[in-house]
Amino acid sequence: MFSISAEQLSVLLVKRPDAEPEPYPGRWALPGGFVDVTQDATLQDCAMRKLHVKTGVDAPYLEQLGSWGGATRDPRGWSCTHAYFALMAAPAISAKDEGSSPSEWVPVETALRRRLAFDHNAILEAAVERLRSKVEYTSLPAFLLPVPFTLPQLQRSYETVLGRALDKSAFRKRMLDADYLEEAGMLTTDQGRPAMGYRVRNRERAVVFPRGFKSGEAPG
Amino acid sequence: MFSISAEQLSVLLVKRPDAEPEPYPGRWALPGGFVDVTQDATLQDCAMRKLHVKTGVDAPYLEQLGSWGGATRDPRGWSCTHAYFALMAAPAISAKDEGSSPSEWVPVETALRRRLAFDHNAILEAAVERLRSKVEYTSLPAFLLPVPFTLPQLQRSYETVLGRALDKSAFRKRMLDADYLEEAGMLTTDQGRPAMGYRVRNRERAVVFPRGFKSGEAPG
DNA sequence: TCAATAGTGTCTATTAGACAATATACT
DNA sequence: AGTATATTGTCTAATAGACACTATTGA
């Protein structure tokens, strides 16, 4: 689960219980859990359920990332995990409001420097790589903003994920030419001229642009 | 497992046993099977093993496609499958040389019209869609050819997958500018001028071009 | 010499980006 | 007015595609 927190691309981590029978006690991990065959009709349903429990968010952008399976990734034996990645607006309140287990939004660079539970470092790396590469040629960063948002805010969202500046004029042309945004009234900001607010027309799927940004990495 | 057979993008199908205890007896299905935790260290290893058993091919292009899990996809109960797709050169001999179970290379359009076992129609659709969309901006069709191959052959491979003609000059510029091919001596053909043979430098991963072909669908 | 295919050259329309200029808010 | 930000316009360099042309083989 990704969001922009403190001007940085951040990921939600949960702390594993300290109790010994569980593997990796006390370690930070990506949110997850076991499929419950009594309530999860599909893998996607399971991911949605976990996500709702953790964040209260109902309809984020959700995409299957991949599956990791093998003999050594869990000390309890051969196991397989199904990773999804979700994009959502920065939560107003910190994620810790559940009494259950501690969780926090951590900038991805920080998270990757920690030794996460299981093979979650590898999974997070893959997720960040996929996100960064898709941001070069899709509208994904729009899902990291609360609606409505302005084009300058959207541009900052792109720049935050990509870690480099983009040209304003070219950026606006790309977004408006793709015709995936609809106007949602003027928004006044703290300072300066107000800007048009937008929302994405179809929150189910991202828009794909015909090419990436200049000198941008190509999709993987 | 995809290949080009009879000038068409084709997929390997296997016939399920007629014995009743097995679900979907006698139906055509995508090749697959259960993970064997005693010999498959990872999911990827398992996919490689299945592929080798079915086709004898050792090092094709292999990519994880996605996972399908749910309560209704297998009559025996909640199940999860991990789909990979492989690209390989057209096998000289038909795939049926195993005495085990009947299998055949079928053009994808034909295969999709059949009622395959399980949810394999959906999986095959996803695979074809992924392949077609990635062909717009990657070097994937190079893996569908025996090496060495000529640029005209490579172009036909692209055109076969995409189902439309490409401009020769632009195509050659794209391939050679990407610098992912190395020369492998002249090849004489049945008729006309001989052509330079090429092989891909790195068979592990596909090359990504900075943009798609004109009017091509964008990557998904 | 002809048919067939491989390979190259030229021109043009498109467009992403650089960057300057203008517009609109608040103080 | 002056500052800060949003939005638009102009110019240019890069390039993909259209298409004509040349090159090299065998019959």
> What is the tens place of the pLDDT at every residue in A32-47?
999 999 999 999 999 9
Judge if B101 and B50 occupy the same domain.
Answer: yes
Q: Which residues 189-218 of A are in CB contact (within 8 Å) with B?
A: 208-212, 218
What is residue B95's predicted lDDT score, i.e. its pLDDT? 52
| Protein residue with the closest CA to the C1' atom of nucleotide D10 | A169
Asked if B67 and A71 come within 8 Å (Cβ–Cβ), the reply is: no
CA distance A70 to chain B (A): 4
Q: Given A70, A72, A218, which is nearest B43 (Cβ)?
A: A70
Closest residue, chain A, to B64 (C-alpha): A66
- Report whether B133 contacts B213 (CB < 8 A): no
- Chain mean position to CA B22: 27
Dist. CA A22–CA A27, nearest whole Å: 11
Is residue A144, in this structure, part of any structural domain at all? yes
Closest residue, chain A, to B45 (C-alpha): A70
Q: Chain A contact for B42, CB < 8 A?
A: yes
The whole-number average pLDDT for the span A135-151 is 97
Is residue B84, in this structure, part of any structural domain at all? yes
Residues in A closer than 8 angstroms to B219, CB to CB, are 137, 208, 219
How many percent of chain A have pLDDT more than 90? Answer: 81
Q: Whole-model pTM above 0.75?
A: yes
What DSSP string runs through A145-206?
SPSSEEHHHHHHHHHHHHTS---HHHHHHHHHHHT-EEEEEEE--SSSS-EEEEEES-TTS-
Asked if A64 and B64 come within 8 Å (Cβ–Cβ), the reply is: no
Is residue B164, in this structure, part of any structural domain at all? yes
Domain boundary among A111, A134, A157: A134
pLDDT category at A97 given cuts 50, 70, 90 is: low
The whole-number average pLDDT for the span B153-167 is 97
Instruction: Note the CA–C1' distance, B170 to D15, in angstroms.
Output: 10
pLDDT category at A156 given cuts 50, 70, 90 is: very high
Judge if B51 and B158 occupy the same domain.
Answer: no
Is residue A196, in this structure, part of any structural domain at all? yes
Q: Can you give the residue range of the structural domain that contains A156?
A: 139-200
Judge if B185 and B85 occupy the same domain.
Answer: no
pLDDT category at A218 given cuts 50, 70, 90 is: very low
| Protein residue with the closest CA to the C1' atom of nucleotide D27 | B191
What is the token pair recorded at B145? 């050819």
The whole-number average pLDDT for the span A80-103 is 79
CATH number for B21: 3.90.79.10
Condensed to tens digits (0 to 9), the pLDDT of residues B96-154 reads 555 567 899 999 999 999 999 999 999 999 999 999 999 999 999 999 999 999 999 99
Judge if A129 and A143 occupy the same domain.
Answer: no
CATH number for B188: 1.10.10.10
| Range name among A100-104, A121-125, A156-160, B107-111 with the lowest pLDDT average | A100-104
Judge if A178 and A105 occupy the same domain.
Answer: no
Judge if A151 and A80 occupy the same domain.
Answer: no
Is residue B220, in this structure, part of any structural domain at all? no
Is residue A205, in this structure, part of any structural domain at all? no
Judge if A173 and A93 occupy the same domain.
Answer: no
